[in-house]
Amino acid sequence: MNAKNNSREKIVGTASDLFQSQGFYATGLNEIIKKSGSPKGSLYYYFPEGKEELGVAAVKFAGRSIQQKIKDGLDRYTDPILAINAVIKDMITALKQDGKLKNTSLSLVALETYLSSEALRTACSESFSALENIYAQKLLDSGVPKERAEQLGIVIQSLMEGAILLSVTHHDTTALGLAAKQIELLLKK
């Protein structure tokens, strides 16, 4: 990776972390520059359209990371119930260690920006859809019919996002554990 790409990636990675933990509107460009260690001019060089353009890049960056974590977790087991439970256990561990949404969920950014930024809403929507498809593909691979797998992919992602939101709000991961139990019941039918 050359220096230019490295600088851009530092800015995007730092913005991604801050947007996920503090929110899009609570994070200033000067804070991103300072924490990334990048020169101020580089932010405007890479993102001439401003904070929203950086936000879209940061959401896509986080989305790819979250998707990879989910894929890696699901790939550990052929049985979808065991696989999804492993993913949830990883999320519980991450939330207990960090107490933050770093590369776990885009819910904060999505909820904060869905009415004010079509570009950010779209980026979050695409990431959520990709996660739904990852769960659906795991179910398809285990023999679940396509229509049911697609529907369950949406339901699983919905349960996961809701459980993550409740877990960070309550400072308690009980909701994720309960989601795991309910997903198991859904998949046994």
Contact predicate 105/66, CB 8 Å: yes
Pair of tokens at residue 154: 């949406």
Identity of the residue numbered 181: K
pLDDT at residue 4, rounded to an integer: 57
CATH code at 60?
1.10.357.10
Q: How far apart are CA 166 and CA 169, in angstroms?
A: 5
pLDDT at residue 132, rounded to an integer: 97
Name residues of the chain where pLDDT drops below 50: none
Buried b (16+ CB within 10 A) or exposed e, 143-181: ebeeeebbbbbbebbebbbebbbbbbeeeebebbbebbe
pLDDT at residue 22, rounded to an integer: 87
Query: 67: domain range?
Result: 3-188
Contact predicate 146/163, CB 8 Å: no
Domain count, the chain: 1
pLDDT at residue 106, rounded to an integer: 85
Q: How far apart are CA 25 and CA 112, in angstroms?
A: 8
pLDDT digits (tens, 9 = 90+) for 56-107: 999 999 999 999 999 999 999 999 999 999 999 999 998 888 766 677 788 8
pLDDT at residue 169, rounded to an integer: 87
